[in-house]
Chain A
Amino acid sequence: DTAVSQTPKYLVTQMGNDKSIKCEQNLGHDTMYWYKQDSKKFLKIMFSYNNKELIINETVPNRFSPKSPDKAHLNLHINSLELGDSAVYFCASSPAGHNEQFFGPGTRLTVL
């Protein structure tokens, strides 16, 4: 009965590769988010979708492309991976009219 799940939990890849991280929530929430946590533990919003519509798109390189096939899923695709993309990526969701966000377990991405 996992609330917000992410796959994979760990991802190790070479520079230049393309990879995807998947997120699913079974809470019935309308809004989903991607956050990036860097090596200094700083968390920053990247994207947000509300009912499959993009509502937040922070200053993120074009190599990052979110996709929401339905309101329970929000995937993150990264092209041409760079060393600086190494981080923990968190998916989160929140219900309509609420500000509380529920986080997934995170995906640790390591680019070699």
Chain B
Amino acid sequence: AQTVTQSQPEMSVQEAETVTLSCTYDTSESNYYLFWYKQPPSRQMILVIRQEAYKQQNATENRFSVNFQKAAKSFSLKISDSQLGDTAMYFCARSRGATNKLIFGTGTLLAVQP
């Protein structure tokens, strides 16, 4: 099965500290895209960061960066200098096929503590 696995259902981090969320995936495709989406209590789905599988360089967006290990099919998200507003459910997702449908993981609920 072509799945996306997030092994940490919940995580907690102190404000200003760094936290890493794990994601592994399974695919037989050679070219695909990986994403991290954030869903705060407002339920809006917000794109945090995106990685193209054919690019070796890890994507970075301000305090958010990824560690993409293609051979290991691993795509973790690092949040530096955590802020209270980072409290949300985080979903890892992979695009699949020409139709570009997203396959989502089960999510990691991150709580940033003051």
Contacts and interface: CB of A to CB of B under 8 A. Distances in A.
- Interface SS of B by simple majority: strand
Contacts of A112: none
Contacts of B99: 48, 55-56
Interface stretch (A11-19, A38-46, A65-73, A75-83): A38-46
B106 A42 contact: yes
A59 interface: no
27 contacts: A33-B101, A33-B102, A41-B39, A41-B89, A41-B106, A41-B107, A42-B104, A42-B106, A42-B107, A43-B91, A43-B93, A43-B104, A45-B102, A48-B99, A48-B100, A48-B101, A55-B99, A56-B101, A94-B100, A99-B33, A99-B95, A100-B50, A101-B47, A102-B47, A103-B45, A105-B43, A108-B43
B68 interface: no
A34 to B, nearest CB: 11
Interface residues of B, number: 23
Contacts of A48: 99-101
Given A42-B107, A106-B45, 20 more contacts: A31-B100, A41-B39, A41-B107, A42-B106, A45-B102, A45-B103, A48-B99, A56-B99, A88-B43, A90-B45, A94-B100, A100-B50, A101-B47, A102-B47, A103-B37, A103-B44, A103-B46, A105-B42, A105-B44, A106-B44
B17 to A, nearest CB: 25
A40 B43 CA distance: 13
Interface string B22-45: 000000000001010101001111
A88 B89 CA distance: 15
Interface of B: 33, 35, 37, 39, 42-47, 50, 89, 91, 93, 95, 99-104, 106-107
Contacts of B43: 88, 105-106, 108
B101 A45 contact: yes
Contacts of B104: 42-44
A102 to B, nearest CB: 7
- In this complex, the member of A55, A88, A90, A99 whose beta carbon has the largest number of chain B beta carbons within 10 angstroms is A99
